Structure formats: structure tokens, C-alpha cells
Structure 1
Amino acid sequence: MKPVIAISLGDFNGIGPEIALRSHDTIKEWCTPLYMTNIKILQKAAKLLHIDIPKDLEIEYVSGDFAIRPGRVSKKSGKYSFKAFKKGVEFTTNGIAQALVTLPVHKEAWMKAGIPYKGHTDYLRHRFKKDAIMMLGSPRLFVALYTEHIPLKEVPKAIKTKKLKKFLLDFYKNTRPKKPVAVLGLNPHAGDNGVLGNEEKYISKAIGLANETIGKEIFFGPVVPDIAFTPNFRKNLTHIVAMYHDQGLAPLKALYFDESINVSLNLPILRTSVDHGTAFDIAYKNRANTLSYLNAVKYALSHIKKG
């Protein structure tokens, strides 16, 4: 029996349906994909894409019908993507599926639909009452984000020793990295010993306390952010912890954009996702790259096998 993977197709006005349909013949060799949607809306997407729906495609019904508007923000499409995602979460929570793989949703469409979450991870935190950790990357390098979708001006006050220590310990428990993990400073030059900011003193203390709790030197830093992604530095790393979204993801995507994935750590379910958005500019043009999606499925399967 192949593992069952629940798949939510994301916002139907974006590239999710194209990626799912074009990748089906590949991933069905690895697992049993179970698509959270309904045949009527999927037929609309397939017609626009000039793609035949595979005869062996298994669907778990999600009610809803609306006009697909390629590349447009839509309240109806946002609402439907959330319903499908929630069904995928429940199927995985109940053990019907062993993992959940998500294709991209649109945050503005969710907002227009009155959905009070900023994205998949935000909902998962609420659903499971757990501090989910967003980690992105590829086997060559993963980056975990201490803060994610908050305004940049709020990041400094979010850096607290106790909170960061807990984040580091949760990250370690869920990844068990074999190599030391670099923790980035917040400020240029990692603060230059207080000359350019003092947040690094909280980061340094959290690193020390986390290592003391673990009983070995797992984390090091604060590392000067502008050297962390250089070839000589990153060649000895598998994981980096960044203090905020763009600090970690701008360089990561410059290096590994097509192959990177998104992983939600510290949850009772296994959830992976693509590391890109809805790409409205190329929606329904049959130009979407499927590599991130395929890698997200591979990651999920490799971690199911690890138990």
C-alpha cells in the first residue's frame, strides 16, 4: 500500500491546478494522491489549461462552484481554497492521509473572503494550538523563520530571550540537525557589540540557554547576516535560523528558488508546501514549474517512512 497524501490545490485563479494536474502521473508512482476539490471546478480548470483530467485521479469532495478568473484576486476562490485546505488538514489529522501537501493560496483573497488567517501556517497554529515553525529550503540548505508575516517594525520587539529559546528548542526537537545551526543576528554586523543595536544580546543569551538545555553546542551566533549565505560559510551548514521573513528568504530564493519547499514543523501532522505563490502572471499559460511541488511530495514521503 502506497502512503496517502492529501493535496489541496490552492487558489484556482493561480497555478496550483496546473501544477497538480501536470504532476499527477509522476507522483502517483510514489504515493496515492487524494485531491481536495470537486470534479466540476476541476473540469473548468482543465478546460482552460487544455489538459485532460487523469482517469485515475481520486477526489475528496469539497463543495463550491465559481467562475475561474485567471490571475485575479477573488473572494469566492479564496473561500474555496480555504475550505479545501481545511478538509486536507482534517483528513491528515484523522489518519486518512499520512501527510498534507498544499499548493499556493492568495492572502488577499483569504482576506476578502473574511478568513482571519494570514496563510496556511497561521491557521495551523490556531487549529492545533501549537507554535508551528515555518522552515523553507532544500536538502542543500533549510532556513527557519523566527518571525514570519509581521511588519518589519515589529520584529525587534518580538526578539525576547525566553521566546527565542523555546523556538530554538522546538526547532531542534523537530529537525535533529547533524551539523551546527547558524542563528542570524538582527542588525547589520550583528549589532557590532551594541553600536548598531542591542537585540543581539537577547539572541546570544537564548542561544546559550538552548544549548545548555540540549547539553551540546547545536546553535551558534549571532551570525552577521550578510555573510551567512556566502558559499564558504553555508557549505558547512544544513540549517539557518533567520530573525525575520526577508532576511532568510530573499537570499534563499536567490539561491534555490525553483527547488525549495515549505515545511511546517512542531505540529501533530506532517505538512509540506511549495515555496512560491500563486503566480497570477502566468496562471493558465502552462508555464508553471512543478519542481517545488514534486520536492514537497518527496519530503513528505521521506518523513512518513521515518515515522
Structure 2
Amino acid sequence: MKKIAISIGDINGVGLEIALKTHEEVSRLCHPVYCVDKKVLQEGAKLLGVELHKELTCKSIDLDITIEPAKVTRESGTYSYLSFLEAIKLCERDECDAVVTMPIHKEAWMKAGLEYKGHTDMLRDYFKRDAIMMLGCEKLYVPLFTEHIPLREVPLHVKEKKLTPFLLDLHKSIGDKRVAVLGLNPHAGDNGAIGNEELEIKKAIRNANEKIGKELFFGPIVPDVAFAPYFRDTVQYICAMYHDQGLAPLKALYFDESINVSLNLPIVRTSVDHGTAFDIAYQNKAHTLSYINAVKAAIELAK
């Protein structure tokens, strides 16, 4: 049975509730190792009015903290960071086979003095690798070329020299899968009438396919039709140029079941595809399907 390190996320959000709710089910799939103090779990169980399972495996975090439901705090940001760091190290020491992460709060990380915009940024810095953020489910996966940057900066990144290596790294991670690559502009630029970024995308697609020796990447595809049923039924992977271009339609279609997968790394890391949900924190309302799917994907990828 695989050992999966669970990075607990922001303890003021829904992560603890999801972990406690699903422990029995997850334990039938793998051996979960929770990167959180037993004291914090006991506090969370009391707030939720649930019983804490006696056979939980925990890895203590060196920070004394108290749960403050739905509050953005420096302490919770630091704690979620330390939990993630411990989960990574468990994999590096071969004590665990993969990492599954609960949601962090980016403002809490900022308050904690952390420069990372999220898990993927930290993984890039930690491993000195160009990690790829991909979200989705078996029906549809959406790798993101750019992620947590201001929208006005996206066109500056859409250059052949950046996009070609991204597509090649994506191919190494997912194998010989066909990937639709979205254009940046409305109508995919209309052959230059509404922007010229698509010329760079076309070059990158052509170069990547030539290096692979197969026509696996195609496009640029008009973004506003790519997620329509008649098109998405023909392809499992749609590569988006920026965060909301890919994730707004993905979450409209598969919000509850979608997960986050980090590609192009020496460890396996999957995550829930939702935030800390402070509006329902410690109210026993959190959905668990995304987490269960993330655990299943981590087990599969760790084989």
C-alpha cells in the first residue's frame, strides 16, 4: 500500500475537515501520513464535532498554533508552508511515495513573508525545475502555460522561445497524447487581425511537433469554442495560455471532481482543485470528491 504525505493546507479553511471526513475511505486506498500536529487535529475535530480516529499517522510541525476559522493569519500561512515542506521532504527521503495538498491561502502566505504565489511556485524554486500546473479530471485536463500572473503580462510571455520548451516538457510528462493549444486572442487572432501572438503559438506548435517527430500538438484553437461538447469530446488535453482562460470553463464543467497535478518534477504531487473556502470553514459543508480523486491520482502516478 502506497504511503501518501498529506500537506494539510491552511488550518483555518476546509482542509482539516476534508482530511478528517475522509480518513477511513482514504485509508482503504493508501496509508496517509498527515503533516500536521495531533493537537491541531484534535482541535479541528472538536470544532467540527467529529471523533478523531486513533490510528492517524502524523508528522509534527515545529510551530505552536491555534485554529482561527475563516481568518487570514500569518501563523496559518507559515504553518501550511511548513506542512508542505515536510511532505516534500518525506518523499525525498523515500518515506512517502507522493504528496497530496490541501488548499493554502495565498494572502496568508504573503503575510508570512513567503514570496511564492502558491504550491507550484514553491516546487519550481525548491527543485529548480519548470513545474507545469495541470488541472482537470479523466474527462478533460487543462495544462496552463502561464498561471498566477497579472493578465496584462500574459502577452509578454507568449513567445515561441518560451512556449516550445513548455510543450516539450508537457509531452515528456503525459506521453503521446494529442493536445489542443488555445490561441490567446478572440477568434485565435483572425490571422493577425486581432493580435499577432498566435503567430508565436503556431511556431511553437510546429517546432515541438518536429522535435517529437509526431503531430501531437495542434492549434491555435479559438478559445471560445474549445470547451464546447462537439470539440472537447475529441481531445482529453486543452492547453490554455493563461489561468482563467482554461480554469473558468473547466470549473464550470467539472468543479467538484477536478484536481491539480504538478508535472515535470522528481516527485509526484497532486492537489484538490479548490480554495480554502473560508465561507464554509468548520461548518461540515465541505465537498470531498476532489480530494479523493487527488489521492487516487497520486497513487496511480506513484506506480
Classify the TM-score, shorter chain. Answer: over 0.9
Q: Which moved more, 1:204-213 or 1:55-64?
A: 55-64
Counterparts of 2:291 and 2:33, CA distance in 1:
15
Structure 2 matches for 1:87-102, cutoff 5 A? 87-102=86-101
AA in 2 matched with 1:163? K
User: Sequence identity, in percent?
Assistant: 60
Q: 1:211 aligns with which of 204, 209, 212?
A: 209
2:185 equivalent among 172, 184, 187: 187
Return the alpha-carbon distance in structure 1 between the equivalents of residues 159 and 86 of structure 2. Answer: 35
Deviation per CA, 1:11-57, whole angstroms, max 9, x where unpaired? Answer: 00000000001110001011100000111111111110111111111
Q: Does the 8 Å CA contact 1:134/1:144 hold for their aligned counterparts?
A: yes
Amino acid across the alignment from 1:3: K
Residue 177 of structure 1: CA displacement? 4.2
Q: After TM superposition, give the deviation of residue 65 of structure 1 in Å.
A: 2.1
Note the alpha carbon deviations across 1:77-130, whole angstroms, 9 max, x for none. 111010111000111122110000000000000000111111000000000000
Name whichever of 251-260 and 47-56 sits farther off: 47-56
- Distance in 2 between residues matched to 1:142 and 1:94, nearest whole Å: 30
Corresponding letter in the other structure for 2:85: K
TM-score of the two chains, using structure 2 as the length reference: 0.99
Contact map agreement 1:177 1:239 (CA 8 A) in 2 = no
Q: Which amino acid aligns with 1:39?
A: K
Q: For 1:153 and 1:94, locate their aligned partners in 2 and report how far apart those are by CA, in whole Å.
A: 41
- Equivalent residue for 1:144? 143
Residue in 1 that maps onto 2:18: 19
- Counterpart position of 1:275: 273
Q: Unpaired segments of 5 or more residues in structure 1?
A: none
User: Tell me, which stretches of 5 or more residues in structure 2 are unaligned?
Assistant: none
Cα distance in 2, alignment partners of residues 304 and 91 from structure 1:
14
Structure 1: which 4+ aligned runs deviate by more than 4 Å? none
Q: Secondary structure at the match of 1:150?
A: coil
Query: Who is 1:301 aligned against?
Result: 299
Taking structure 1 as the reference length, what is the TM-score of the superposition? 0.98
Amino acid at match of 1:48: L
1:40 touches 1:65 (CA, 8 Å); kept in 2? Answer: no
Give the superposed CA RMSD: 0.7
Letter in 1 for 2:133: M
Q: How does 1:146-185 map to 2 (within 5 A)?
A: 146-178=145-177, 180-185=178-183
Match of 1:266 in 2: 264
Q: How far apart, CA to CA, are the structure 1 residues paired with 2:270 and 2:122?
A: 14
Query: 2:247 aligned with 1:245, yes or no?
Result: no
Q: d(CA) in 2 for partners of 1:260 and 1:268?
A: 23
Amino acid of the structure 1 residue aligned with 2:191: N
> Which deviations, in whole Å up to 9, do the C-alpha atoms of 1:249-295 show, x marking residues without a partner?
00000000000000000000000000000000000000000000000
Instruction: Give the aligned residue type for 2:119.
Output: H
Partner SS for 2:302: helix
Could you tell me how far apart the structure 1 residues matched to 2:31 and 2:53 are? 13
What is the deviation of 1:66? 2.1
**1:34 corresponding residue in structure 2:** 33
Letter in 2 for 1:25: E
Cα separation, 1, equivalents of 2:41 and 2:24: 16
What amino acid is aligned across from residue 298 of structure 2 in structure 1? A
Instruction: Say whether the 8 Å CA contact 1:133–1:145 is kept in structure 2.
Output: yes
1:190 Cα deviation (Å)?
0.3
Q: Hey, what does 2:233 align to over in structure 1?
A: 235
Secondary structure of 1:240's match? strand
